[in-house]
Structure 1
Amino acid sequence: MKKHDQDFMKRQNRLTVFEIIKNQQPISRASIAKQTGMSPTTISRIVGELTEEGYLLETEQVSPGGLGRKSTLLAMVDAAVLSVGVELDWHRIHIGIVDLQGNVIADGRYPRSANESADATIERIGAEIDRLTKANDIDCARLIGIGVGLPGIVDNAKGVVVFSVQLGWKNVRLAERLKEITGYDVAVDNELKVKALAEHLKGAAIGSNRTALLGFGNGVGSALIVEGEIYRGKTNSAGEIGHTTIDPNGMLCDCGKAGCLQTYININSLLSEANKLHPVRSIEELFEARRAGERWAMYLIDRALMYMAITINNIVCMYNPDSVILSGELADKFPEIVDEVVDLCYSRFAWEPLRESFQIVRSELHEQAVTIGSGLMSQNRFFSLE
């Protein structure tokens, strides 16, 4: 047991040092020792291991504060480790090769039919990863794993998709199956949780202590980051706000319940309601009709924006975040609605005692967020287990 505890502490210390260098580079050994409380000997040992393995490089720079003294500083070799980030949705697959800083160095987008089976989708992901790496001359020896973000309830410890309404999947052993095909370790999580991770490490949530991310698109959901950690709940399903009941006599949701919040906001529900009034083939057509002053389109979208503003207030009242990030296909495709939702929230729905306690911002990573977050999730898993 003692040996096990010592090994665990060594891995944790290594990961801590790695993360500090990654996030604060260039940085000196002395600064790392001061922040962590580890001895200079321990820091030198860990840095030596990471340098020998090709993760770090040393540079001589003039130390901050002047005086002309040069100091040996540590920095990451960004391309030393690469991972694959996959965004999986009901109508598309987005695959990216992600470096240590979360930069997407190569990517591809592929259409997916809504009725494609889980096996067919997983096999296609494996084939497209192979094609993408070969087409871009990626050194596969540097690839350490694959991360997948998708809508639904995910057992992230086992890599199992427990239930996804959008994909029509139930108890799909995605990580196990994709590893069989590709040979790489696979991490799987809910798309909004990996998106929140990406925004925290690289986007709109940098420096935030408590951030709520909301996704409005083909579904409605949320994710919460507290002190840098994703809040998961007992079964990793915390944040499924789209299935809170707004009206028990309301519209039928894909989940089988009536009156779920997402039936007033998500794209499929908006199009379904619109087609009862006027033929509409896409969400773009619905927004065009609104811009043209069509009253039926204005009513449907204005109602959706109202419920989006209500959702923000509900999240703020529940979790008291300092920042709320608006993301998802509706916010990305139609950025003009963000200001409308913000104005609605502050003017009509934000609870007075909390009105000044939070800011509402747009996602900075937009359509790349899930891919980046999935890739970084895979890297975090790799370094924590190594």
Structure 2
Amino acid sequence: MKKIVKHDQDVIRQHNKQMILDIIKEKRPISRAEITKITKLSPTSVGRIVGELCEQGLVRETELSSGGVGRKAIMLDIDPQAVFSIGVDIGKKIVRFGVMEFSGKLLYELPVGHTAIETEADRTIDLIADTINRLVKEQGLDRSKLIGIGIGVPGVIDHERGVVQYSSTLGWRNVPLAAQIKERTGIDTVTDNDLKVKILAEYLCGSARGSKKTALIELGTGVGSSLIIDGEIFRGGSNSAGELGHTTLDPNGNLCECGKRGCLQTYIDESAILHEANRIVEIGDIGQLFEAARSDESWAKEIISRTSLYIGIAINNIVCMYNPDAVILSGNMVENYSDIVSLIEEQCAQVVWEPFRGGFKILASDLKERSIVIGAASLVLNNYVNQS
């Protein structure tokens, strides 16, 4: 029982520390008294946490400020370049890199063309390590301030050990990614599922800012989801929560790559939609489908309408399970063909259970292709803040 209580206390302390730091970042400069008023924590608790942040070199006292009555208050600010982190997004055909300063601003971004599934894992790891070593040198980064590398990877990830347990996108099984990147760069490395770091980015500086509980749905070459509650990523028992694409829509339906029938992704991912379209008209990509719909082609409008209905059903299931205040739609389909968002909203007005209608927002991703790099780099910063 004592261990459980201590764990709960540690979680609360880390949450309060991150909350206070986020407030200082957003409203800087700000006084301790203002932080106390916003957080409703005791002045003693605020003072203790601010003291920890100052000791870490993340927060500093600046000028005095007066509201007009009484003595002046000491204001708190951050040093944007106190520390740096590097974010990496291993995508299907591109590996994206970003250098982030402590304020959350990306100082440098670099996309590198690479199809991981067409090569051995070691070659992809070499590419990542060599690019990072080159970035550190070319950008003149102070290694003493470079606190870590964060990597977002599609698949099932053991984030505590830094192991990619399984990724069909990359063709990897049981790859100790974090350890191998650290060995090649000398920099502490963490890795996590790409959608989990993506929703962290949206929560910190994207569509989910100000949300208490947000669900994210990825629509594109695959289908996935993630959930964040009060700034904490919901992981499930094995960090696999969010495999929305393999929820069953019809037990007698389409055969999925996983071996089951009727998985949601066999109805709404890009390959499934293209397969259905090509039974009617030969097209090469999903963009042609949307162009046909805009040209009032009835077959195309029907396919997109049906796809929107299935997505609406998926949103209803998530809303009934978790009651989020926001659902973010992201991925290639949304980023490239934004028309579908309004169609999904129309379907949700019909299929979402009545008590939840109007109780949440449907939003498109603000950060788009940069979100995983931002989220992976932010994960490093969050871990650093909470390490003491």
Shorter-chain TM band: 0.7 to 0.9
TM-score norm. by structure 1 comes to 0.88
Q: Which of 173, 187, 192 matches 2:190?
A: 187
Output aligned runs, 1:300-315, within 5 Å.
Answer: 300-315=303-318
For 2:19 and 2:169, the matched residues in 1 are separated by 35
**1:285 to 2:288 alignment:** yes
SS of match in other structure, 1:79: coil
Aligned equivalents of 1:18, 1:212: Cα separation in 2? 21
* Matched residue SS, 1:271: helix
Query: 2:41 corresponds to which letter in structure 1?
Result: Q
User: Of 255, 260, 282, which aligns to 2:258?
Assistant: 255
Task: Give the direction of change, closer, same or farther, for the CA distance of 1:266–1:68 in structure 2 (3 Å limit).
Answer: farther
Aligned counterpart, 2:111: 109
TM-score, normalised by the number of residues in structure 2: 0.87
Q: Secondary structure at the match of 1:178?
A: helix
User: Residue in 2 aligned with 1:353?
Assistant: 355
Distance change in 2, residues 1:178/1:159 (3 Å): same
Alignment equivalent of 1:166, drawn from 169, 177, 180: 169
Q: Deviations over 1:300-343 (max 9, x none)?
A: 33322221111111111111111111111211111121111112
Aligned residue identity for 1:23: I
Stretches of structure 2 that go unaligned for 5 or more consecutive residues are none
Measure how far apart 1:149 and its partner are.
1.1
Pick closer, same or farther for the CA change 1:76–1:246 going to 2, 3 Å.
same
**Pairwise CA distance, 1:45:** 4.7
Pairing 1:148-297 to 2, within 5 Å after superposition = 148-297=151-300
Alignment of 1:6-17 (within 5 A): 16-17=16-17
Letter in 2 for 1:226: I
Q: How does 1:61-140 map to 2 (within 5 A)?
A: 61-63=64-66, 65-67=67-69, 70-113=72-115, 114-140=117-143
User: Helix, strand or coil: the match of 1:208?
Assistant: coil
SS at match of 1:166: coil
**CA 1:361–1:39 in structure 2 vs 1: closer, same or farther (change >3 Å)?**
closer
Q: What are the superposed Cα offsets for residues 116-169 of structure 1, whole Å, 9 maximum, x if unpaired?
A: 222111111112222333333333332111111122111111111112222222
Q: Does the 8 A contact of 1:56 with 1:77 survive in 2?
A: yes
Distance 2:42 2:135 in 1: 39
8 Å Cα contact 1:21-1:27 kept in structure 2: no
| Cα distance, 1:91 vs structure 2 | 1.8
Change (3 A) 1:37 1:293: same
Query: 1:324 and 1:383, CA in 2 relative to 1: closer, same or farther beyond 3 A?
Result: same
Deviations 1:157-186 (A, max 9, x none): 111111222222221111111111111111
Amino acid of the structure 2 residue aligned with 1:95: F
Work out the CA distance in 1 between the residues paired with 2:11 and 2:244.
36
Within 1, Cα distance between the matches of 2:354 and 2:16? Answer: 40
Q: Distance in 1 between matches of 2:53 and 2:121?
A: 43
Aligned CA-pair RMSD:
2.9
Q: How many Å separate the matches in 2 of 1:314 and 1:39?
A: 40
Do the aligned residues in 1 keep the contact of 2:50 with 2:59 (CA within 8 Å)? Answer: no
Moved more, 35-44 or 306-315: 35-44
1:367 equivalent in structure 2: 369
1:193/1:61 Cα in 2 relative to 1: closer, same or farther (>3 Å)?
same
C-alpha contact 1:250 1:258 (8 A) present in aligned 2? yes
| Secondary structure of the structure 2 residue equivalent to 1:338 | helix
Q: 1:84 to 1:340 in 2, by over 3 A?
A: same
Alpha-carbon distance change, 362 to 186 in structure 1, aligned in 2, over 3 angstroms: same
1:218 deviates by 1.8
Structure 1 Cα separation of the partners of residues 297 and 63 of structure 2: 64
Tell me the equivalent position of 1:20: 20
Segment drifting more, 280-289 vs 160-169: 280-289
User: What letter is aligned with 2:358?
Assistant: E
Tell me the equivalent position of 1:38.
44
Change (3 A) 1:359 1:159: same
Residues 376 and 36 of structure 1: CA distance in aligned 2, closer, same or farther (over 3 Å):
farther
Q: In structure 2, what is the Cα distance between the partners aligned to 1:47 and 1:229?
A: 20
What is the count of residue pairs matched by the alignment? 377
Aligned sequence identity (%): 44
Q: Given residue 73 of structure 1, which amino acid in structure 2 is its aligned partner?
A: M
Contact 1:11 1:384 in 2 (8 A): no
Aligned equivalent of 1:321: 324
Q: Verify the 8 A CA contact 1:97 1:106 in the aligned structure 2.
A: yes
Look up the SS of the partner of 2:141 in the other structure.
coil
